Structure 1
Amino acid sequence: MRGWYGATLPSAAAATPSHGVITGWRLLLAICAMWLAGCAQPLPKVATDENTWSGRLALQVEGQDSQSFSAMFELRGNAQVGGLVLLSPLGNRLAQLDWKDGHAQLVSSQETRTSDSLDMLLQEVTGTRIPVTALFSWLQGNQATAPGWRADLSGVADGRLVAHRDDPQPQATLRVALTR
């Protein structure tokens, strides 16, 4: 087969599109993709909240009826407004606590309860009182006083917090290991 300028073309070239045509389509597709990407709206940035923590917590209460509680958790907010989700090691939701304006709600697989006291609902879930206001300060690396409790903040930079309760009896130890 002869081309328009008289040169002989190989027979395979006559059966397939020329290299220049394929390159042209690729260029056109690339331009369309860039145009579409330029028209797309950027995804909204997710605000990273400094008052959000997740990890594992363990609470050991000593005494005749020694008890322990451990769970994975997701905590957000502060002592006045926030939420706490407790998860099993397999990731199943055990309970969710939400609070604001002096009102707290506990949702578990068995029931939904409300109270004017976050401390009381948290005690029902964990088995003992936890100083919520101090806990938020401790997680931020700030020493805060809570009657009967003393916190070791030496590991907070590494995501570790240990707090001990000596009074009232029985003694208790709260351990938190952060993953964030």
Structure 2
Amino acid sequence: MNSHLQKIAGFALVAALCACAPARMVREPLPALSAQELAQAQAQQQARETAIAAMPDWALQGRVALSNGRNGGSGGIEWSQRGANYEVALSAPVTRQSWRLSGDAGSARIEGLEGGPRSGSDAQTLLRETTGWEIPVAALSSWVRGARADEGAFGAATLSYAADGRLARLEQGGWTVDYNAWQAAGETGAALPTRLNAERGQARVRLVVDRWEGAAAP
């Protein structure tokens, strides 16, 4: 795909999702936890990640806003994950157009762009080349559930916690992910994020989850 067609495809997707870039988030300072509180928060987070890892099949429905510093858009999102296989659908409420990204650890395909489907070996690279958006799909599959991504691919993560011991901020691979709201855990489930913001430089992803399925959800 030549660069001219890439720009056309990316512009069409951004325009159809509504030209409305999310504003840069102002972060509030996190509380200073005592050694005992920090140890409890770390143990709670480890237990959450263990429960989540035991349930690799999950799905979410919600709303997403994307920005690359120049263009941005918002719309509905449906994400289905079955182990390494994923399918992410974006829909624009005004134009009623939709796009679908699917693949696994070694392949990716995006459908719904002008000029037909595009394929590649990596979802993040494919999205950057076709839309101009920087979205770390592989890492987000962990981050959206409030868990660290694979250190071998994204490096070590730094975690910060709120006063109640829940994960408040995750920094990994140059990205900062802030967690603003959580769904309470059921008797056998784990708490899951319902509002998060991921940011690296001018690239931003905001996600509001309306419904969780699997992923240790209640």
What is the TM-score when the length of structure 1 is the normalising length?
Answer: 0.60
Q: 1:107 & 1:178 partners in 2: Cα distance? A: 23
For 1:1-180, list aligned pairs within 5 A.
Answer: 51-62=58-69, 66-77=70-81, 80-90=84-94, 92-100=96-104, 102-108=106-112, 110=114, 111-124=116-129, 126-144=131-149, 145=157, 146-157=172-183, 159-166=194-201, 171-180=202-211
Amino acid at match of 1:155: A
Question: Taking CA–CA contacts closer than 8 Å with sequence separation of 6 or more, which of the two structures ends up with the larger relative contact order?
Answer: 2
1:130 match: secondary structure:
coil
Q: 2:130 & 2:200 partners in 1: Cα distance? A: 18
**RMSD (Å) for aligned C-alpha atoms:** 2.5
**Cα distance change on mapping 1:156 and 1:133 into 2, 3 Å:** farther
Q: 1:89 & 1:128 partners in 2: Cα distance? A: 20
Larger radius of gyration: 1
Q: 2:182 & 2:130 partners in 1: Cα distance? A: 25
Q: Deviations over 1:70-129 (max 9, x none)?
A: 221111116831111111114834211110251211111531111111112222455222
- Asked whether the equivalents of residues 67 and 133 of structure 2 are also in contact (C-alpha less than 8 Å), the reply is no
Amino acid at match of 1:150: T
- Asked whether the equivalents of residues 68 and 134 of structure 2 are also in contact (C-alpha less than 8 Å), the reply is no
1:51 match: secondary structure:
strand
Q: 2:139 & 2:86 partners in 1: Cα distance? A: 14
Gaps of at least 5 residues in structure 2 are 1-55, 150-156, 158-171, 184-192, 212-218
Gaps of at least 5 residues in structure 1 are 1-48
Alignment size in residue pairs = 125
Q: 2:82 & 2:136 partners in 1: Cα distance? A: 12
Q: 2:181 & 2:61 partners in 1: Cα distance? A: 16
Q: 1:79 & 1:165 partners in 2: Cα distance? A: 26
Higher share of residues assigned strand: 2
**Cα distance change on mapping 1:164 and 1:81 into 2, 3 Å:** same
Q: Percent identity?
A: 30
**Cα distance change on mapping 1:142 and 1:101 into 2, 3 Å:** closer
Q: 2:66 & 2:203 partners in 1: Cα distance? A: 7
Q: 1:176 & 1:80 partners in 2: Cα distance? A: 21
What is the TM-score when the length of structure 2 is the normalising length?
Answer: 0.50
- Asked whether the equivalents of residues 57 and 83 of structure 2 are also in contact (C-alpha less than 8 Å), the reply is no
